[in-house]
Every structure is written in structure tokens, then in C-alpha cells.
Structure 1
Amino acid sequence: MKELNYSKVFLLLAGLSVATLGVYRVVSLQTDSFYAFLIWNLFLAWIPFLFSMAAHELDKRRIGGIWLLPLGVAWLLFFPNAPYLMTDLVHLTAQKGRYIVHGVIQNRYWYDMVMLLLFTWSGWLTGFFSLYQFQAVIYRKSNLLLSWIFVLAACVLGGYGVLLGRVYRLNSWDVLTDRHQLYQLVLDSLNRQSVFFSLFIALVLLVIYATMYCLLNVLGNGERRGRSKSRF
């Protein structure tokens, strides 16, 4: 795996989040603050990246040891918050009375759609870079195969987490504060439709992450090799 400069990645993601908030501010001034909850959802999408940054730095300095496991568990609990942002697009349909008046699509529909897509892109990119960081940690401690098994498991759990968050309205911290409710929701969600939904989201996450991985490693390495050959 290609080792990234995560200080620059952090600045890139922070800049993207600031730009996203700026777009929200412009749109909210033109319309209203109905989508203010997106700010909180974007914050939650940042939490797994902070956990992965901590794990990556501790492992890089060879002082992680016992801390890697709790950081990994915490990361898994909050990782679904990143792909969850995609489901906020449902408000474009749920609030269609705001957007279609007498059969005419209002301009605010396009403003809100672009804003929602930007929040989704910012959250997903932050989440996928956090996944890449944890894969790099596992790769250094084992091998590439095990690191991809971890990625597959994370995507499946991420898909299931999106289901619990959107359909059953469960929060990441409910695992610690309301275990009885969590246990009951898990039982309720064990049905064919929920399993299909979770696996479908997991497949989407895996496809997008694999694309990002190839862009960072396969295509990037090919470009460097091409430059090296051109020097001779």
C-alpha cells in the first residue's frame, strides 16, 4: 500500500469540510436553515478519521500496542456515520412540498440537492480515508490479504450501521448507553429485507473504496514507473 502524507490529507479534508459549510451557509441564506442537522452529521463523519489518525500515528511510532484494539472498535462504531450522510438525500423526496409548487420545480431544489451531494462527498471521502488508514495499519502488522478482509468486514458492518441509523434511528453511542435497545434492534433487523439492504450498501461502499484504492496505488504506481523509464 502507498503510504500517504496524512497531514496533507487532513488539510485537504478540512478544507473540503470548510467549503461544504460555506456552501451550506450560502444556501441557507437563500432559503432557510432546515438542513442545519447536516453540520452535526458531518461532524460525526469526522470522528472515525480522528480515531484512524490516532491509530496510524501510534502504530507508525511503534507505541500503539494495546491501544490499537480499542481505537479499532471505536472506529468501527463511528464509521457508518460517514456513509450514512448519503441517506440524507431522502429529504429531497420527503420534503417535496418545498420543491414542487403547482407542478413547477423551485430553484431551491437544485440548491439543496447540490448542497446534500457536497455533504455526502465530504463525509464519504473522510470516511474512506479513515478506512485506508486502518487498512494500512493492518497491512503493516500482517499482509495485504488480511487487510482486505478487514476492508470487506468494515464495509459489511458499515452497511449494517447505515441500516440501524436510518431505518431504526440508532446512534453510535447507543451501544454504550442503551444495550437492551441495541439487542432488541439487532433481533428486529434480522430479516431478509434488512440483510439485503445492508449487503447492498456494503457492495456500494466496497466498489467506491476499491476505486479510490486503485487511484492511490495502481494508477499512481504506473505513472511513477512511466516517469522512471522516461529518464533513460
Structure 2
Amino acid sequence: MRQLNYIKVFIFLSVVTVVTVGLYFAAADWLDQRYYRFLIWNLFLAWIPFVFSFISYGFSASKWRAAPWLAVASGLLWLLFFPNASYIVTDLVHLTARSSTYFAGNGLDYKYWYDLIVLLMFVWTGLLLGFLSMYQLQEVIYRKMGNVASWVFVLAGCALGSYGVLLGRVYRLNSWDALTNRDTLFNLMLESISRPSLAFCLFFGVFIFTIYVTLYYLVNAKSTYKK
């Protein structure tokens, strides 16, 4: 798999984040529409898995004796916060929840399109953060354990990530509940064992896996152009 320059990736994602947040504030100032301010916090949470994957990637290349253990610890923290990156997709539900405010006498009010664009920008940025963080760790596993193990990691990450989104959206849990509220987490995990939950995880898991594979292919596709 192609090795990326993650310093440049970090800068690029920072620029995309600034543009995304800037669009929100532009719409908020022009339309006096600040309902979606919570998206800024959700985008901050989406940055956390990328930060942990960045740290894990750095430790994986270090010769320091404790570096492998720190890389594993950072990777586990990445897994804990990875669902936050794709969770933003479910924030599209707010367009439905607020549908009554978007309809004017002649159909959809123009504010709907502003809000849709802002939401999609946050969704896109969150997905980029999540998938580039996964790519970063897949690269580490690819170097250490081979191609098959790296794709097992991707499949497991998508499956556990979709389950994390279920716990966050349906059961209103946060990533840090795994550290601070384990009894409630365990009880809700037992409650979540059902056919609808399985269907949600299956559909959402296929959704994020398909997008990841698409981005993976685009990054690793070989050019046929000859100078």
C-alpha cells in the first residue's frame, strides 16, 4: 500500500476543517441560524482518532524500547474514539427533525439548502478524518504483519465502529463512558443485542467499509500516464 506523507495530510485536514467551520459561521451570520453549533464539537471529537493514529504511527517507527507498547496503547485509544468520526453522518437526522421549519408557501425554504451544505461538509470532513486515521494504522499493521492482517484490522474497525455509532446515536453513550461509566455501558450493550441493532450495524458497517475501500483504491491506483 502507498505510504502517505502524514504531515501534509494533517495540514490538508486542518485546512478542510477551517473551511468547514467557516461555512458554518458564514451561514450563522447571514441567516442568524446557529442551531447546528453542536457540529463543531462533533468535528472536534472526529479529530481525536486521527490524533491517536498519528501518535501510534510515530511510535511504530521509533527505536525506543517502550515505543511498541505506546503504539499499541494509542491504537486502542484510536479504536475507542474512531466511531466519533463517522457518527457525524447520523447528524443528518436533524434535517428531518427540523423539516417543519424548512417549508415555506412555495416549497422548501432556501435555508434548507444552506443547512444541507453545512451538514454535508461536516460529514465529509469527519469521514476523511476517520478513514485517513484508519489508513494510517492499516499501514502500520501492513508493515508489521502483512496485507491480510491489515485488512482484518479494517474489517474489524468498520464493524466495531458501526457498533460504536449505534451506542452513541441510539443509546446516547459517549466514548469516555467505556472508562468512566462501565456498568451503564455493559447494561446497554446487553440491551442492544437485537435484530434491529444487528441490521443497523450491518448496514452502517457496509456503508463505511465501502467508502473506505473506495478511498483506498483511489489512493493506491497506479497511473498509466507516461512522461
Gaps (5+ residues) in structure 1? none
Worse-superposed segment, 77-86 or 26-35: 26-35
Question: Do 1:86 and 1:120's aligned partners in 2 also have CA atoms closer than 8 Å?
Answer: yes
1:91 maps onto 2:97 in alignment: no
**Structure 1 position 140, deviation (Å):** 1.0
Residue of structure 2 equivalent to 1:187: 190
Residue of structure 2 equivalent to 1:142: 145
Residue of structure 1 equivalent to 2:33: 32
The one-letter amino acid of 2:15's match is G
State how 1:169-188 maps to structure 2 within 5 Å.
169-188=172-191
Residue of structure 2 equivalent to 1:125: 128
> In structure 1, the residue corresponding to 2:17 is in which secondary structure?
helix
> In structure 2, the residue corresponding to 1:169 is in which secondary structure?
coil
- Structure 1 residue runs of 4 or more that deviate by more than 2 Å after TM superposition: 61-64, 101-104
**Structure 1 position 102, deviation (Å):** 4.1
2:166 to 160, 163, 168: 163
Per the normalisation by structure 2, the TM-score is: 0.96
**Structure 1 position 57, deviation (Å):** 1.0
Question: Do 1:31 and 1:108's aligned partners in 2 also have CA atoms closer than 8 Å?
Answer: no
The one-letter amino acid of 2:146's match is N
CA RMSD of aligned residues (A): 1.1
Question: Do 1:38 and 1:119's aligned partners in 2 also have CA atoms closer than 8 Å?
Answer: yes
Per the normalisation by structure 1, the TM-score is: 0.94
Percent of aligned positions with the same letter in both sequences?
Answer: 49
Count matched residues: 224
Residue of structure 2 equivalent to 1:206: 209
Residue of structure 2 equivalent to 1:54: 55
Residue of structure 1 equivalent to 2:6: 6
Question: Do 2:56 and 2:72's aligned partners in 1 also have CA atoms closer than 8 Å?
Answer: no
2:81 to 78, 83, 95: 78
**Structure 1 position 31, deviation (Å):** 3.1
Gaps (5+ residues) in structure 2? none
Deviations 1:145-204 (A, max 9, x none): 000000000000011011111111000001111101000110010001101101111111
Distance 2:159 2:203 in 1: 9
Residue of structure 1 equivalent to 2:45: 44
Distance 2:182 2:24 in 1: 35
